[in-house]
Amino acid sequence: MKALVIPDVHLKPYMFKEAAEWMRKGVADRAVCLMDIPDDWNREYDIELYAQTFDAAISFAKEFPDTLWCYGNHDLCYLWNERESGYSRAAAYTVRNKLEELKEALPAGNQIRYIQRIDDVLFCHGGILQAFVEENVKNTDSVDQIIAEINTMGPEQLWSSASPIWYRPQYHQETMYEEDSLLQVVGHTPVEKIYRSTNVISCDVFSTYRDGHPIGTQKYPVIDTVEKILWKEV
């Protein structure tokens, strides 16, 4: 299967329009969004832009209902009442309501999760450490059981630098979960280009510097989930 990945959004509604165009052209079988839909530099009072971005996400979800969605830290901070850089008190009500609208737009059984799986490819916002699994997961009989257990966790386990929401494999060299058998596709950490290191493909290439200039290539990775490779960038 070919999966088009929508990296960290951060108030860029055009990303969903571009992704929809690529999906209509048939470049992928389905899409995966790594979210971080709200928040960007100096936009904390632009409530209209928050609403526009979520509305674009909701429209995309309705047109492509089998899209998988992975919570990011900037989404969860509003649901969990946590504070971090970029959090907008002015937009909090809008973000929480729009996240509910997004959830309601998804078909039954397709919930927003921390980790999503297609074949032997795991999609999540930050990255899954082997140590996190060993220290926090009770039932480790299978990959699906491990993912299911992590997807039930709350801020007590996940609002930490080593969790799949926050971890940054781009900066560290710790052992990632199932390095020899699974591919992970992550966002969260801005990078200049889409690249693979060990079993992790990093793709947060739409984030910007404080002055608005792009950090990365602003390309969407298409993942071959059977071959476990970056198939192309569009």
Give me the tens of pLDDT residue by residue for the chain, a chain 234 residues long: 999 999 999 999 999 999 999 999 999 999 999 999 999 999 999 999 999 999 999 999 999 999 999 999 999 999 999 988 899 999 999 999 999 999 999 999 999 999 999 999 999 999 999 999 999 999 899 999 999 999 999 999 999 999 999 999 999 989 999 999 999 999 999 999 999 999 999 999 999 999 999 999 999 999 999 999 999 999
Residue 105 is part of a domain; what is its CATH number? Answer: 3.60.21.10
Predicted confidence at residue 218, as pLDDT, reads 98
Query: pTM of whole model > 0.85?
Result: yes
Domain count of the fold of the chain: 1
26: containing domain:
2-233
Q: Which of 159, 162, 154, 151 is CA-nearest to residue 122?
A: 151
* Kind of pairing between the strands at 68-69 and 200-204: unpaired
DSSP run (H or E) holding 118: strand 115-118
> Exposure pattern of 198-228 as b/e (b: 16+ CB <10 Å)?
ebbbbbbbbbbeeeeeeebeeebbbbbbeeb
